[in-house]
Amino acid sequence: MKFTLDDEELAKLTERMAGMRFIFFDAEMAIVFFRTDPDVVKRIIPEPLKPSAEPFAMAFMAKYPKTNFGSVYNEAALSILVEYEGELGGYCLTMPVTEDMALIGGREIFGFPKKMADEISLERTENGVKGRCVRKGIVLMNLSMSFDEEVEANKLAEILSTLTSQELGDKEWEVPSYNFKFF
């Protein structure tokens, strides 16, 4: 079993997937950004990643009722903001899902740390959302938040750019995911 791709293998995979677009129709997501303990970040990120200047983390829960690749599932994740060679990106600590094909595709193709969850729920309440992620009978994440207004995706990118001090200009806000497979 291989644990890394050399430059040639990565180029072939990238070329094969260049035309693929993964589309999530009618998705519902709750995303929370928060500051975390910088000492904890230093302890848990693998080399060659470095802690970002600001110790931001992100938790999210999502419902994907329809996709263009046939999977219908729910997902949760916990990521931290890191740097690699001066570029900000996310390091995902965990990404439970409720469907095996989403697990296989995300883990085997993209290297996300996906595991099967017993339950991932995300529901609107009268004044916000609540969610929960359970794996092997253990509650990994509870989410309960109220909101004054929903934020559209383009507005979210603008807000995120202020958190990271990245200038957007006319380009879309993109953040690479730094994924490491290890056992």
Q: Which residues are catalytic?
A: 114
CA pair distance 160, 61, nearest whole angstrom: 18
Q: State both tokens at 148.
A: 């004054």
Q: Got the DSSP string for the chain? A: ------HHHHHHHHHHHTT----EET-EEEEEEEE--HHHHHHHSPTT-EE-SS-EEEEEEEEESEETTS--EEEEEEEEEEEETTEEEEEEEEEEESSHHHHHIIIIIT---EEE-SEEEEEE-SSEEEEEEEETTEEEEEEEEE-SS---HHHHHHHHHHHHT---TTSPP---B------
Closest residue by Cα to residue 92 from 158, 183, 181: 181
